[in-house]
Amino acid sequence: MPAEIEHDAATHRLHVGTGVVEGVTEAMWAYEVSGYRVVKRWFDRRKRDPDGRRSSPLDDVTPASWEPEWTRELIDLLNVVALLVELEPQQADLLERVLAGPLISAQELLDDGVMPSAALEARDRPAPERPAHQGQL
């Protein structure tokens, strides 16, 4: 069961324990979502001593060996990340164009019939209070 994952930027190799996956670029290895490195985070949940929240003794029950489907999952994940990395320039351009464009107010959407008035009213309405629990389950 692998305990470590390492990326070799010079050879584009991802070392997972004694296994190796080729063709993993630095951009794929460093790809982040919400501040988490996607490939590393995926592995950290499956390594010998998995990272993550511990809420019961059952969290300590982990596989003794690498599951074959994890290899398929890793390859699938790397393929998706590679496609996302490839799309980043287009995504950045689109975001730049959207941010540079005109702003549309909720009122304008309402006036143009794009957004129903109920949606605007619901947005402005305070959230309902949750009732206190009345007993034990």
| Domains of the chain, residue spans | 5-51+66-93
pLDDT tens per residue across span 45-72: 999 888 877 788 777 787 888 899 999 9
What pLDDT does residue 131 have?
Answer: 63
At residue 78, the pLDDT reads: 98
- pLDDT at residue 65, rounded to an integer: 87
Strand partners, 37: 32
pLDDT at 137: 47
Amino acid letter, residue 57: P
79-119 pLDDT tens trace: 999 999 999 999 999 999 999 999 988 889 888 888 777 75
Q: Determine contact, residues 28/82, Cβ cutoff 8 Å.
A: yes
Q: Are the C-beta atoms of 17 and 2 separated by less than 8 Å? A: yes
Residue 37 is predicted with a pLDDT of 97
